[in-house]
Amino acid sequence: MRILDTYFPVMVTVTVFSALLIGFILADHHILSDIVEVDETILFWANDNHNQFIAKLMLQSGNFYLLILFYGFLVLMTLFYDKMKFMQVLVFIGLYVVVCNGMIFTVNLLFAHLRPLYMETMAGSMQVKAVGIGKQFGCLPMSSSLAGIAYFSCLYFKKHYWPLKAMVVAWAIINLYTNLHSGWNYPHEILIGVVISLVIAHFTFKLYLYYLRRGKLTW
């Protein structure tokens, strides 16, 4: 935990200043157009590189009943891991989900745009589409919160629970990649959503530790 306590805030700070630097660089319209081109290239690459099995797997990974089964399993594992602290950690996980999804929902309201798969200039070139699954306008993927849940789980469960950690991380990656694979989000939107969820998950876990210690909180 000491390494995470030391380096995670540094990583966040570097990310913020890097974003500011990139903002100044983007004043050059040629650079901006190049970045947009790279963004679209990655989107088309993820959309084109598939087979029928992978396509069906990606499109079904967000199935409501499958999500219920997965989260039910994760809750049961949390219960078996530590029955005494189960309710406490469940409250903080719920807090994380509410704050993270609330922030992403707010960003989507403020910066919503037509999704790539609905754009006339791009839709015709896409091999896999998720039309009809959600709203035509949006920004950050709501599934970004899965990255934070995976991070929270990796911090919470001990080392010998690595198969469970690997499964949760893999589930988050599959769901996030699905948004890219199906033309639902641009790569930069997924990246921003993941960064937001990781930051919120980190500070939520620190609050959980503070609640347990009832002592000094080290950010």
67 or 33, which is more confident:
67
Report the alpha-carbon distance of residue 152 to residue 92 in Å, rounded: 10
pTM summary value: 0.76
Lowest mean pLDDT among 31-35, 47-51, 125-129: 125-129
Encoded amino acid at 20, one letter: L
Return the percentage of the chain with pLDDT > 70, whole number: 65
Residue with tokens 């993941």: 194
Residue 217 is predicted with a pLDDT of 45
Instruction: Look at residue 70 in the predicted model and tell me its pLDDT.
Output: 83
Percent of the chain with pLDDT over 90: 18
pLDDT of residue 128: 52
> What are the CB-based long-range contacts (under 8 Å, 24+) for 103-108?
103/196, 103/200, 104/140, 104/141, 104/142, 104/144, 104/145, 104/193, 104/196, 104/197, 105/142, 107/139, 107/140, 107/196, 108/138, 108/139, 108/140
* Predicted confidence band of residue 142 (pLDDT cuts 50, 70, 90): confident
Q: What digits encode the pLDDT tens for the residues 106-140?
A: 888 888 777 777 766 665 555 555 544 456 777 78
Residues 149, 172 contacting (CB under 8 angstroms) = yes
Structure tokens at 184: 């639902």
- SS3 label, residue 57: helix
Average pLDDT of span 91-106: 92
Instruction: Return the minimum-mean-pLDDT range out of 21-35, 89-103, 130-144, 202-216.
Output: 21-35
For 177-184, what is the mean pLDDT?
A: 78
